[in-house]
Structure 1
Amino acid sequence: MMLKTGAFLVAFVIIFSALAPVVAPYDPTKKVAEPLSPPSIKHPFGTDNLGRDVLSRVLYGGQVIIGVSLLATLFSASIGFTLGMFSGYIGGKTDRVLNMVMDSMYAFPSLILAIAIASVLGPSPLNAALAIGVVYIPTYFRMARNETLVVKSSLFIEAAVSLGMPRHRIIFRHVLPNLVPSLVVVATINIADAALTESALAFFGYTVTPPTPDWGLDLSSAKSYIINGYWWLLIPGIFIVLTALGFSLLGEGLGERLGKKD
């Protein structure tokens, strides 16, 4: 049930955002009606404080959050997973040094570290993706290292070593395939965390600059109006929740499915 629900939500948000150039009724950056107009047939999600169509901004804003989240996850997974796998297998001084570095990074609150990095790099989707990606490298490192230590003690690894198989070949041919299921589950759940972090960065102005549509940025612009009764300006926040919930359920569902197969 979780897998199907998560897959449905993820597919809905991705398709919803991908079709923005085709189905968005208006230019998301231009005034198209009176400011703060409630939902209507012409504007199903109403208009914001500048008279821009909220539906159009939500459609285009999804492209930013999903793109940044996927890019950040790819970046952090590729670096953290590779380092963790080699660290766990090689061990020794290399393992201790990498563990110290990752523990130091893990000690920082993720959002504060992401804001610090993004503030240095400057506001842009690419810089936000890099900032978020750096924050989650220790997550993949720990997962890959712990899984590698378990696989390393297996009899088939000892047999490969006794046969004189090169270390790099053992890692990529025998260790890596056993870690892929865990990587898929962790990465899927991590996309949900990355989406929430991106929204927070955008809320504080570290992802995009106005008038570029972004769910977090739109929430930031609307915060003083939402509390005064303009409830439809909260719709971008609803889509943030749906995106995070979808990827979380998908990851949990994949974990259960893969666990049953094992």
Structure 2
Amino acid sequence: MPNHISVVRAKSIAGLMTATSLALVLSGCGATYDVTSPRSARNQASADAKNALSPVDCRKLKCVALTFDGGPSKTTPPLLDILKKEKVHATFFMQGRNHITKYPDVVRRIAAEGHELANHTWSHKVLTKLKPAEIRAELTPVQDEIAKLTGHKPVLMRPPQGRTDEKVSKVCRELGLAQVLWSVTAKDYLTTDSALIEKRVLDQAERDGIILLHDLHKGTVPAVPGIIAGLKKRGYTIVTVSQLLAPAKTEPGMVYRP
């Protein structure tokens, strides 16, 4: 699922700061919006920050974030069993219609077991094709439903197909949502071959990467134990997106992309 984004310019940060923000343009459109990498976000955070979001420090550790899109679904509880056994936490970008509404107890369990809950729209429409009011209508109900079930609204979202632009970013800013893309995809929506899914993830994984998987597809959950084992064998610490960024705090509207 390509994100159809091209880099057109970079902003320089003086002194000890690194370049943390790029102006991106959606192909064929002149609107710009801000993007940064997990490493740049961490580097820009205050050097003496004391309140990191997690006990892990990805400035020192070789971290990779594990994320799942499109759930919850009937395959999510077995996935949660695996993650609990392996003592791994992930970020779940959840859909509203036929997912959050159908599996509210699973949403509660995801939160109770320490995973990160995030927004993947109500009905998986491509947001760049919508008007601002329609974008808001895709994001707001997910915020409200997750808050109703867990007591907390997400601060992260993932645009369907990774497609974003200035219009989407503006609505996300207003709703307090940062946008999260990815660097690793197994294209598990195209195959049920768990061994292939595992291989694709391990072949692409790099430090500060963000792995995209879909817990609702048949071959994905059976691939997760091998993915976790393979990443750990290579020295990776598996974290949530917010843990990957810490001590930086997510900036609403910003696009985070390795």
Specify if TM > 0.5. no
Structure showing the higher helix proportion among its residues: 1
TM value normalised by structure 2? 0.24
Structure showing the higher strand proportion among its residues: 2
Larger Rg: 1
